[in-house]
């Protein structure tokens, strides 16, 4: 079944931050020619070509020498609990997502913003402790960023002491999570000079070598235009782009939420940019005419998966690739995306 469409266009102060570490020891993760590989296994079989024409599944099976991933992690976004009459529904969906993630047993969990809907409204702020109580049931390291619906003071009071954090999983992968969302009702992103300096240091000091660093935020960097939402990092954009170019050899991907469009992404600067689905609801951007997904990518470039049910993402890390699998709540799907 066709579950993914992709554009045929060419790829175009630690002291005040929270520093987190994964536990355990493992082989160092390096990246050779844009692909993950175990440092102690230089003879690892290189993957076959993963190029696929638009409309075909882009994922190839891992090589025989690597049937199981090195590790997995989970990503979720936009639970929006406290959304007026939908509070109970979105709360149940967040609870279901956390139950499923716990059963998946990932190494850690990334949540990409908008925990509560309209968190600036006083009566909605009671939902932050509830959200965290549900999340704690996953019993996994949890790295969060605030969304535009999450006032910084609420986030730092109830969820994390800092909005910008670093998490190292067994020296295999560094996650740099940072706050880039302008406050509701705004939707664009902002990155400050202080954040640029901090990220510059955190990327440079990442363990290992090669592309084993990912960035996580609420608002995407990619300059998207209709039919996409045209929400992206605008303030501090040039300085952030300079940072990305400087560390292109270390950055594997940038993950975000915000759009409620399922799994949607691009590859700018040879760095994967992927937006994750919401646990509350997701929408197609083009709903009419023939082949709406094809129209979407023809106009907006990049790729989009043919799956829009509320859900979360299973991320499998192999020596040569990362595979993102869409997990609809209470259901299964063959929608997945290879990043290599």
Which residue segment(s) compose the domain that 245 sits in?
Answer: 4-27+67-339
Number of domains in the chain: 1
> What pLDDT score was predicted for residue 150?
98
> What pLDDT score was predicted for residue 292?
82
Separation CA 160–CA 142 (nearest Å): 10
User: How do residues 268-324 score in pLDDT, each as one tens digit?
Assistant: 899 999 999 999 999 988 766 666 888 898 999 999 999 999 999 999 998 879 999
Asked whether residue 251 is assigned to any structural domain, the reply reads: yes
Asked whether residue 330 is assigned to any structural domain, the reply reads: yes
Asked whether residue 58 is assigned to any structural domain, the reply reads: no
Q: What crossing angle do the helices spanning 87-104 and 127-136 adopt, rounded to 10°?
A: 20
Asked whether residue 44 is assigned to any structural domain, the reply reads: no
**pLDDT per 10-residue tile (average), the chain, 340 residues:** 50 36 33 35 34 37 69 98 84 98 99 96 95 98 98 98 97 97 97 99 94 98 94 98 98 97 95 98 78 86 96 93 98 97
User: How do residues 9-43 score in pLDDT, each as one tens digit?
Assistant: 433 333 333 334 443 333 223 332 333 433 333 33
> What pLDDT score was predicted for residue 40?
31
Asked whether residue 15 is assigned to any structural domain, the reply reads: yes
CATH code, domain carrying 169: 3.60.21.10
Its pTM surpasses 0.85: no
> What pLDDT score was predicted for residue 22?
42
């Amino acid at each position: 079944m066709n579950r993914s469409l992709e554009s045929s266009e060419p790829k175009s102060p630690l002291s005040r931050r929270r520093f987190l570490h994964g536990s355990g020891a493992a082989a160092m993760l390096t990246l050779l020619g844009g692909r993950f590989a175990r440092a102690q296994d230089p003879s690892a079989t290189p993957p076959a070509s993963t190029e696929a024409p638009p409309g075909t599944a882009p994922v190839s099976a891992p090589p025989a020498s690597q049937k199981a991933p090195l590790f997995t992690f989970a990503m979720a976004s936009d639970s929006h609990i406290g959304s007026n009459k939908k509070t109970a529904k979105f709360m149940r969906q967040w609870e279901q997502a956390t139950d499923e993630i716990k059963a998946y047993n990932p190494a850690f969990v990334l949540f990409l913003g908008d925990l509560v809907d309209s968190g600036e409204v006083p009566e909605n702020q009671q939902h932050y402790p509830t959200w965290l109580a549900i999340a704690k049931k996953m019993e996994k390291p949890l790295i969060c960023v605030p969304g535009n619906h999450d006032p910084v003071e609420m986030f730092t009071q109830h969820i994390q002491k800092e909005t910008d954090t670093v998490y190292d999983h067994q020296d295999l992968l560094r996650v740099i999570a940072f706050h880039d969302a302008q406050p509701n009702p705004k939707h664009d992103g902002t990155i400050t000079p202080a954040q640029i300096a901090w990220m510059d240091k955190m990327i440079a000091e990442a363990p290992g070598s090669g592309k084993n660093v990912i960035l996580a935020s609420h608002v995407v960097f990619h300059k998207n235009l209709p039919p996409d939402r045209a929400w992206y990092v605008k303030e501090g954009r040039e300085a952030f782009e300079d940072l990305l170019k400087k560390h292109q050899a270390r950055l594997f991907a940038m993950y975000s939420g915000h759009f409620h469009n399922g799994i949607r992404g691009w590859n700018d600067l040879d760095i994967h940019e992927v937006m994750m689905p919401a646990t509350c609801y997701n929408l197609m951007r083009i709903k009419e005419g023939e082949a709406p997904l094809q129209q979407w990518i023809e106009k907006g470039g990049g790729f989009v998966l043919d799956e829009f049910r509320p859900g979360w993402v299973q991320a499998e890390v192999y020596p040569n690739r990362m595979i993102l699998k869409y997990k609809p709540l209470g259901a299964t799907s063959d929608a997945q995306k290879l990043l290599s």
